[in-house]
Amino acid sequence: MNAMILAAGRGERMRPLTDHCPKVLLSAGGKTLLDWHLQRLVAAGVERVVINIAWLGDLIREHLRHHTPMGLEVLISDEQDRALETAGGIVKALPLLGSAPFLVLNGDVWCDFKVDNLPSWPEGLAHLLLVNNPAHHPQGDFSLIGDQVQSIGHGRSLTYAGIGCFHPELFAGQSAGVAALGPLLRRACGRRQLTATHYSGYWQDVGTPARLAALDVGLTSG
């Protein structure tokens, strides 16, 4: 299975840390967020990873020259001056990802979930990892009945973890350009084409300096 790490974002909430450093190259527990992701993907048996870049992308390229794990093929999808957001970035990278389902990881999350436990071929268009709503996102994204994702008519007690397995067909008809992933997921959900796993282990959206610091403390202390 191939995988994609979303790493093109500017990281506005992380400023000033991201003024001169891409968000995925920020460190916690002695490693960059990017290196944590690559390590977990290699452990899951992934052999090809696509990473999209935009803001300070050359620094990510340089880091990968020295820190790509042995046996892992890393391809760059360069969005240049304007990040295409989540769906737009994936659509641009589809030719590099192939015709089979692929993993997607947000570059600014940390989770100890083993991604090889996700289904390699979703029953529908995508299979997401969902976590309990964090304090900074109490409204949630979805609810779950069995493994079927619900988005309306039920209490949204779960949040998309930024980790999932996606079939390329999810993006059928999506034109190139800036686009968010949320509307595509909600559309798939409405068609009962979206399943998920609820994970209650350690997960952190590393979206602010305070949350990065908390993650660093947690990883350093074990």
Q: What is the pLDDT at residue 119?
A: 94
pLDDT in tens, 162-189: 999 999 999 999 988 999 999 999 999 9
pLDDT in tens, 104-161: 999 999 999 999 999 999 999 999 999 999 998 888 999 999 999 987 655 678 999 9
Fold (topology level) of 2-216: Spore Coat Polysaccharide Biosynthesis Protein SpsA; Chain A (3.90.550)
Model confidence pTM above 0.85: yes
Task: Determine the Cα–Cα distance for residues 115 and 43; give it in Å rounded to an integer.
Answer: 9
Task: Determine the Cα–Cα distance for residues 21 and 19; give it in Å rounded to an integer.
Answer: 6
Q: What is the pLDDT at residue 152?
A: 61
Judged against a pLDDT cut of 80, whether residue 11 lies above it is answered with yes
Q: What is the pLDDT at residue 221?
A: 86
Q: In terms of Cα–Cα distance, which of 103, 209, 207, 204 is closest to 161?
A: 204
The side-by-side arrangement of strands in the sheet containing 102-106 is 73-78, 48-53, 2-6, 102-106, 158-166, 126-132, 194-199, 148-150, 143-145
Q: What is the pLDDT at residue 155?
A: 67
Token pair recorded at residue 216: 């660093």
Provide the 3-class DSSP secondary structure of residue 28: strand
Q: In terms of Cα–Cα distance, which of 112, 88, 91 is closest to 37?
A: 112
Model confidence band, residue 78 (pLDDT cutoffs 50, 70, 90): very high
